[in-house]
Structures are given as C-alpha cells and as structure tokens.
Amino acid sequence: MQSVLNTVKGTALNVAEYLTPVLKESKFRETGVLTPEEYVAAGDHLVHHCPTWQWASGDDTKTKPYLPKDKQFLITRNVPCYRRCKQMEYVGEETLVEEESGDGGWVETHQLNDDGTTEVEEKICELTLDENRDEMHTPDSNKSAPGAEDEEEDDDEAIDMDAFEESGMLELVDPSVATTTRKAEADLISRQATDEDGGGAAGGSSDSVLRTRTYDLHITYDKYYQTPRLWVVGYDEQRKPLTVEQMYEDVSQDHAKKTVTMESHPHLPGPNMASVHPCRHADIMKKIIQTVEEGGGELGVHLYLIIFLKFVQTVIPTIEYDFTQNFNMS
C-alpha cells in the first residue's frame, strides 16, 4: 500500500515540478532553498574539495535547460557499505513526529537543554565562533580547517535528520584517519557478520574476508523543492544490482519506504532508484543557517552540499561516502 501511495505522490510531484517556474532570485538565507546557479556553484565546490564526486551529463533526452549540459547532476561510485542497519545499536529515546503534509513520520532524538536550546544549536555555534567563522564567510581564505584529533565520533547510532549535528556531523575529521578507522572497523565487523545479512566470510573459508556492498550515489537538483536530492543504487560483492528490499536493509528503518522511496531518476533512463525525499531539506538548512547567524557567523551558500551530505547520512548511516570533513572550508 505504501508503495502505491509513493507512486501516486511521485506522479503528482512530477507534474508539479513541470509547472513550477525556475527559481531566479536567491532565497538561501531566508528559506534554505537554492537557485540552479547556486546548486552548480555548491557542486563545483564539492567536486574541487572532494574529487570522488564528479559532474555528469546524464541522458540527452532528459537534459534540464536550467542547468549546464555537462553539470546536470553529481555522482560518486563504488562507495563501500560494510554492514546492515540492523547491526547498528540504537541508543536513547526516540519520538515519532507525524507531519501534517503527509510526507511520512520523522524520528526526533534531540533533547532541549535547561535554557531551551538544543545540543544541535550549541555545537553549530561553537563550531562557527571558535573554529570556522572566518572560513565560513571568507571565500578566498587559505586557512586550513582544524583537525579532529581530539574527537572520537561514534557512527553507530542512527539519528534523525533534524538532529544530525548532535552526532558531530559537522566536526572535521582527517580522511586518512577515517579510512584507517573504517578498515579496522570492517575487520571487526567481518568476524561478527553472517552470510544471511551479507557480511559473512567468503566461501566460509575465512572470517577475515568481508563481503562489502557498494553504492553509487547521485545528487540532483529538485526544481519543485528547490533543493538538492540524493539518489542511491547498490551492488553486491560481485557488482550485481541489489534488490529493492536489500537496499532498504542499508537505510535507517525509521526512514525506509517513508523518507526513502523508489522513484524514476530525473536524468537517467532505466529502473527506479532509491531516493531521499527532499521535503524537509530546506527546513533543515534554514535551521542551520539561523543557528550559525545567531552565533555571530555566516554560512556561505557554496557549503550547501557539504552540509547536505552530512545530514542525509542520518538516513543511510552505513554507506561510507562522506570524506568531506577535512578540507579548506573557504
């Protein structure tokens, strides 16, 4: 029943997108949305600082005239996924928040402090004021972003997108350290996983060989919601496409079939792909912008996709795509 509703909703949104005019005037600070030009600028910034991402043109018959022909969407390939979401530990109390818009429920995990603020707001303000104020609003700065040698982040807890900063998503991590950590983590998981969940030993001959799924990730521009949108397609260790249900194993179960649905790709033909619905992206970004500004900082629009990648990872927490933490934030 849920898939039928998603199909009907997707068809209606396709019509609405067709009728929606292209956003011409920047409303980034007011509403958290992007113009196509701002999307391209943020994409250029992502590609420059994280070369694993590249621009793609897509199918000629699906070219969007409001985007450059060679910059229709962003793509990164062969991203590892070492384990299933059910292997993760869920910690803390969670409250289901129902949306009146009918886009599905969301899980809210953050708690208010005594002064009425959230830990999310405190962390963003601290980051902006103490570490990155100049880098956030000085595009020509050559200062290096601070490392996270004193930070130990636990990636095992799936959280809601509204509270993604609470897990330290905006903290900076050295990619080389992250890679080493993931390898060690993968070795541990390979001893614990079973063939049933795709993480067992190959051929049963050794418990140190990890069966690793991989994903290709795409970021498109949604003209109706005027925000980026994430798409994922998964493969097993033999590079055979995963089934829909297998891909849902790598999605937070609080969001599977609600926030994440199977829909047709706007730039590519073929079967439907899993997509993170963009209905909340602008609200989340607006909240982040306001928090940074209340702390005395300024968030440049060129950083949009860097931050976007961090809060959507709460929906697909086991897909290890985010190595954007340690780079020049200017």
Q: 149 Cβ partners below 8 Å, 6+ apart? A: 174
Catalytic, out of 81, 85, 125, 279: 279
Q: Pick from 192, 248, 184, 191: which is nearest to 215 by CA?
A: 248
Measured CA to CA, the distance from residue 145 to residue 151 in angstroms comes to 14
Alpha helices in the chain (DSSP H): 2-19, 28-31, 36-49, 119-127, 133-137, 175-192, 244-248, 281-294, 304-312
Q: Are 267 and 4 in contact (CB under 8 A)?
A: no
Pairwise CA distance, residues 159 & 313, whole Å: 9
Q: Residues 305, 311, 313, 316: is their CA dihedral positive or negative?
A: negative
**Does 279 participate in catalysis according to the annotation?**
yes
Q: Are 216 and 78 in contact (CB under 8 A)?
A: yes
> Mind giving me the DSSP string for 46-86?
HHHH-TT-EEE---GGG--TTS-TT-SEEEEEEEEE-S-GG
Rounded to whole angstroms, how far apart are CA atoms 150 and 37?
38
| Opening angle at CA 41, ends 10 and 26, nearest 5 | 70
Closest CA to 279 of 254, 322, 312: 312
Residues that are catalytic: 279
